[in-house]
Chain A
Amino acid sequence: KNEVEQSPQNLTAQEGEFITINCSYSVGISALHWLQQHPGGGIVSLFMLSSGKKKHGRLIATINIQEKHSSLHITASHPRDSAVYICAVRRNFGNEKLTFGTGTRLTIIP
């Protein structure tokens, strides 16, 4: 079983819909990262969380440390949000290394 699990693996939605991507992990962590990768593109850091909630524009990330779960929400989704969203965790005492989920492929249809 992977230490970091994301769901769903694939998600297709209409423009304007509210999107939720989930990440569950099974190890003790000091931080959780959400990353975005556009097709054929590089990887961009969206959020780094150790508790609570963060918001940037239409993106919101939350984390529940007790439940070992994080969610990434996109409000008023747009076709340019189509990308792979990757969850990664930094373990406690992990020498700054990250463990990654396999990603969620999001497609927003106009």
Chain B
Amino acid sequence: DAGITQSPRHKVTETGTPVTLRCHQTENHRYMYWYRQDPGHGLRLIHYSYGVKDTDKGEVSDGYSVSRSKTEDFLLTLESATSSQTSVYFCAISAGQGARNEQFFGPGTRLTVL
């Protein structure tokens, strides 16, 4: 599992509240990713990071921000949660380089916004 943990694993919150999800890795990988998974859409990239303090947007970044102040932690923040952000969120890392690059996923966080 490449030492990836996510917290919390489940969260229920109300519309308009801020929410922060944490991804933690233990193997010093450079690339980290946040995805959301919704029925009919597959996994979609929200934001990714290619190093400490180096982040970039994915295809569904509106309403989300991220921070990476140290190699092992990648935080995803919903500044003001909306019902459309109800989803399962997966963190992932890339291990290896070039042709040996594989992605490993965390266990997921199920977020419900009421």
* Chain A residues close to B by CB (< 8 Å): 30-31, 33, 35, 42-45, 48, 50, 86, 88, 90, 95-98, 100-103
When A and B form their complex, what is the total count of cross-chain residue pairs whose Cβ atoms lie within 8 Å? 53
* Chain B residues close to A by CB (< 8 Å): 1, 31, 33, 40-45, 48, 50, 56, 58, 90, 94, 98-99, 101-108
Do A86 and B106 touch (CB < 8 A)? no
Do A43 and B90 touch (CB < 8 A)? yes
Give the residue of A30, A48, A98, A102 whose beta carbon is less than 8 angstroms from that of B41: A102
The B contact surface, by secondary structure, is strand
Do B44 and A42 touch (CB < 8 A)? no
- With A98-B45, A102-B41 known, 9 other A-B pairs at CB within 8 A are A42-B1, A44-B105, A50-B99, A90-B101, A95-B48, A95-B50, A100-B43, A100-B44, A102-B42
Measured in the bound complex, the distance between the Cα atoms of B105 and A44 in whole Å is 7
Measured in the bound complex, the distance between the Cα atoms of B105 and A5 in whole Å is 21
A35 contact set on B, CB distance < 8 A:
105
Do B40 and A102 touch (CB < 8 A)? yes
Say yes or no: A96-B31 contact (C-beta < 8 A), given A31-B101, A33-B102, A42-B105: yes
What is the distance, in angstroms, from B41's C-beta to the closest C-beta of chain A? 7
Say yes or no: A97-B45 contact (C-beta < 8 A), given A33-B102, A45-B103, A50-B99: yes
